[in-house]
Amino acid sequence: MERRRFLQSSAFVTALAVEAALDWRDTPAEAFTGRETGTSAVTDADVERLQQARDEFRHLDHVHGGGYALSWLEGYLHTEVAPLLQGRYSDSVGGDLFVAAATLTDMAGWMAMDVGHQGLAQRFYTQAAGLAKHAGDSAYGAYVLGNLATQALFVGQTRTAVRLARSARNAGGRAITPTLTARITTTEARAHALIGDAHETRRVLQIAERAMARSDPAHDPDWLGVFTPAHYSGSVMHALRDLGDAKTAARHAADAMDLPAANARTRALHTVLHATVLAERGDLDGAVEIARPVQQAAAGIKSQRLDQRLDEFAERLAPHRSAPVVAAYLEANQDQ
């Protein structure tokens, strides 16, 4: 418990993140072998149970935010997943088992990042990358490194985010599908935009656009279903907004909102992002109109990322507080 509290309060460590990425990329993958000793036999049914649990935890995360079910998932990893890794399994079952364990561990990292426990999130991401490496799954390892790049972006380590995103693409090699390429490269583009490098931002966005045009969900692994065209559009809108091109960013708003109703957090994040784009274009009434429902609903979503985005929106509105609609929004924001 003391170690967990330490990790919750600790910060993202750039050097460790880069070291993990380089280690994953440069260490040759070994052929996965089964385990002949262990307290219990692991079967395909056990793996399927972990995959179902992943989907259930993902649903809770999407609806309620990372802070809602993180402690449950941590307990599940300890009591259900870890004992299976110490069991007996064949080569084929073992490979699937380690990928399933990696997806759950990565999700714990995503939840921890979302709620603001950055040290804990980084630890989970590093563990997930190791599990993917042990399973020999280059694509999933690249996906995890992409999430580590997203975390670096979130904590303001933009140049580290670029390095991690590039390492992710290089590490995945031919195993990376066009959809995964689009996901990783939009993260890199967002980092370039925050740095202020317009040339690199647009160059990398072109790579992402070409990759997304070739995207075929039928050929993607099931765990990549979390990255949809709406998520792609939201990331492109974000990069263009940060680059200062609000006009072009606004063109991606409608596609970014094409999300299932159950994906409440992403819908809220994209809505507030769109609101900042409208504010940048001078449409204060429109910006406040679409942001107000999110402002009211945010208390029910345990997500530091959403809270931070709402704070950022309020900061962008502050210079316009003389407008009645803005004054009313900011007053309500203080009462939250």
pLDDT tens sequence for the chain (336 residues)? 444 554 555 677 776 777 777 676 666 666 667 788 888 899 999 999 999 999 999 999 999 999 999 999 999 999 999 999 999 999 989 999 999 999 999 999 999 999 999 999 999 999 999 999 989 899 999 999 999 999 999 999 999 999 999 999 887 788 899 999 999 999 999 999 999 999 999 999 999 999 999 999 999 999 999 999 999 999 999 999 999 999 999 999 999 999 988 899 999 999 999 999 999 999 999 999 999 999 999 999 999 999 999 999 999 999 999 999 999 999 987 766
Instruction: Report if residue 243 sits inside a domain.
Output: no
Q: Which distant-in-sequence residues (6+ apart) come within 8 Å of 20 by Cβ?
A: 125, 126, 129, 148
Q: Which of 122, 139, 158 is the last residue of a domain?
A: 158
Are 14 and 134 members of one domain? yes
Instruction: Report if residue 233 sits inside a domain.
Output: no
Q: Which of 158, 178, 209 is the last residue of a domain?
A: 158
Looking up tokens 């009313």 gives: 328
Q: Output the pLDDT for position 180.
A: 97
The first and second tokens of residue 148, run together, are 């580590």
| Overall domain count for the chain | 2
Q: Tell me the sheet residues that pair with 89.
A: 35
Instruction: Report if residue 149 sits inside a domain.
Output: yes
Are 273 and 154 members of one domain? no
Instruction: Report if residue 240 sits inside a domain.
Output: no
Q: Which of 137, 158, 179 is the last residue of a domain?
A: 158
Task: Give residue 38's region: left, alpha or beta (phi > 0; psi -120 to 50).
Answer: left
According to DSSP H, which parts of the chain are helical?
2-9, 14-26, 44-64, 66-76, 82-85, 91-115, 118-135, 138-154, 158-172, 178-195, 198-213, 229-243, 246-250, 253-256, 264-280, 284-297, 304-317, 324-335
Tell me the residue type at 300: G
Instruction: Report if residue 187 sits inside a domain.
Output: no
Instruction: Report if residue 285 sits inside a domain.
Output: yes
Q: At what angle do helices 158-172 and 14-26 cross, to 10 degrees?
A: 10
Are 32 and 145 members of one domain? yes
Are 266 and 152 members of one domain? no
Nearest residue to 63 via CA among 306, 263, 260: 263
Instruction: Report if residue 16 sits inside a domain.
Output: yes
Q: Output the pLDDT for position 264.
A: 95
User: Alpha-carbon distance 116 to 155, whole Å?
Assistant: 9
Instruction: Report if residue 275 sits inside a domain.
Output: yes
Q: Which distant-in-sequence residues (6+ apart) come within 8 Å of 333 by Cβ?
A: 295, 310, 314
Q: Are the C-beta atoms of residues 63 and 302 closer than 8 Å to each other?
A: no
Burial class (CB in 10 A: 0-12, 13-18, 19+), 236: buried
User: Alpha-carbon distance 271 to 291, whole Å?
Assistant: 7
User: Alpha-carbon distance 278 to 202, whole Å?
Assistant: 21
Q: What Cα–Cα distance (Å) separates residue 124 from each residue in 34, 118, 120, 121, 329? A: 24, 10, 6, 5, 38
User: Alpha-carbon distance 88 to 121, whole Å?
Assistant: 29
Are 8 and 152 members of one domain? yes
Largest CA distance in the chain: 72
Looking up tokens 């907004």 gives: 241
Q: Which distant-in-sequence residues (6+ apart) come within 8 Å of 61 by Cβ?
A: 68, 69, 107, 110, 111, 114, 265
pTM of the predicted structure, to 2 decimals:
0.92
Segments forming the whole domain that contains residue 41: 1-158
User: Alpha-carbon distance 287 to 163, whole Å?
Assistant: 34
